[in-house]
Amino acid sequence: MTAPKFGDDEEKETDGKFIIIQKPPNAENLLKRPDEGLATIHCTKVVRNVNLEKLRHNYLFPEIEARELEHMKKYPDANIIRLGIGDTTEPIPDIITSNMAEYARGLSTRKGYKGYGAEQGNKDLRKSIAESFYKGLGVKDAEVFVSDGAQCDISRLQLLLGSNVSVAVQDPNFPAYMDSSVIIGQAGDFLDETLKYKNIEYMTCGPQNNFFPDLSITSRTDIIFFCSPNNPTGHAASREQLTRLVQFARKNGSIIVYDSAYSVYITDDSPRSIYEIPGARECAIEISSFSKIAGFTGVRLGWTVVPDELYYVNKVPVINDFDRIVCTCFNGASRIAQAGGLACLSPDGFKAVMSLVAYYMENAKILVDTFTSLGLVVYGGVNAPYVWVHFPGSRSWNVFSEILNKTHIITVPGSGFGPGGEGFIRVTAFSQREHILEASARLRRFL
């Protein structure tokens, strides 16, 4: 919850208690805790990163968790159904965990033990990713960088790009793009009147434009963050839409950072990779993840593709700099996780993980049918495990609170994804079937 400020003091709410941080003009600060009284603390002379001070709100998902904790205090006996944070719930298939367990046991033997691996990832896994997800698209093994997840790669890419580039994001968008842009120094101050950061190009992507920006009025930026299928709206950009995006980037000399973390959920002929579009290899980086493919949200494994043909204005290949960033900031993904990734991409392993995808998409269908039957306009749930529900005339956080208070269901307020999400909530299909069915029954009673 955003803390009110009074003069130079700061009032913060933490777990239902208030901590007053006083800032007198002397070398010591006084910290008043409810359970400790008045205590003296020592402060260094190090100035806080000014970019962190620009962050307008707490990160969205810890904020939701904090509100859930408050609700649990108020209703200790409530059976809460969590359809908010997009965390997978179904067990990882045994064919995959067995491979990880066998590899882990091997580490206890002299023959099987291995220490540091290549920062770029296991060669066999890089080859398997290229062949499984980019067959016929010209992606080479050496262009695939295995990581500990797409969200971590977003931050590494920001370090690669630096603070002097201009940035465009979809609105609404996954918060990590925006927050990392602010932290690295690409954004200006937050403007209360617009609920936007200065120096960031917000590309409106809503029902009024088929969830794709009007590029005729979009300013030229160095970097374009684009996610398809989109989190939170669930929209998968069409081939024609992505063709326009690539042409726009090439014309402007921009780089697209393309997030395809939900590509395996696509059920129609929408592109699963930006590299299906001619010319994309000269203007796009693609990030993706095993998190939502195979339930690796806690195992942590992803990848980034940086094509050889992608160059800076001075003709230096971008892949060279990204390799340096990876080698400097990363010691490589867990060998055990990579063993799991290889198992995922075996014929039997991939069949097993796609059964999980089908399970979650059936959950999405139940949610879509539920909200639609209640007379609400619903988007998503067809090419992505997210359902984007419109509550016209209502504030997103108010809808979130009302649903939570009356049904004990956690959702995500759309405004947490940017001003373009106001009036919507996002509901995740990542849940056990019995919880989805119970949530459906509660929602029908409530609405």
SS (H, E, C) 37-95: EEEEECCCCCCCCHHHHHCCCCCHHHHHHHHHHHHHHHCCCCCCEECCCCCCCCCCCHH
Q: Are 302 and 176 in contact (CB under 8 A)?
A: no
Residue type, 222: D
Confidence check: pLDDT of 16 > 60 = no
Confidence check: pLDDT of 12 > 60 = no
Say which range, 125-129, 436-440, 442-446, has the weakest mean pLDDT: 442-446
Nearest in space to 416 (alpha carbons), one of 84, 52, 187: 84
Cα–Cα distance measured from residue 432 to residue 199, given in angstroms and rounded to the nearest whole number: 42
- Interval 87-127: pLDDT, tens: 999 999 999 999 999 999 999 999 999 999 999 999 999 99
Q: Is the peptide bond before 172 cis (omega within 30 degrees of 0)?
A: yes
- Element housing 212 (H / E): none
- Interval 366-424: pLDDT, tens: 999 999 999 999 999 999 999 999 999 999 999 999 999 999 999 999 999 999 999 99
What domains are defined for the chain?
Answer: 5-46 (no CATH), 60-91+350-446 (3.90.1150.10), 94-348 (3.40.640.10)
- pLDDT reported for residue 59: 75
Q: Are 169 and 225 in contact (CB under 8 A)?
A: yes
- Interval 191-250: pLDDT, tens: 999 999 999 999 999 999 999 999 999 999 999 999 999 999 999 999 999 999 999 999
Q: Are 250 and 282 in contact (CB under 8 A)?
A: yes
Mean pLDDT over 326-353 rounds to 98
Nearest in space to 149 (alpha carbons), one of 352, 341, 307, 346: 341
- Mean pLDDT, all residues of the chain: 92
- Element housing 85 (H / E): none
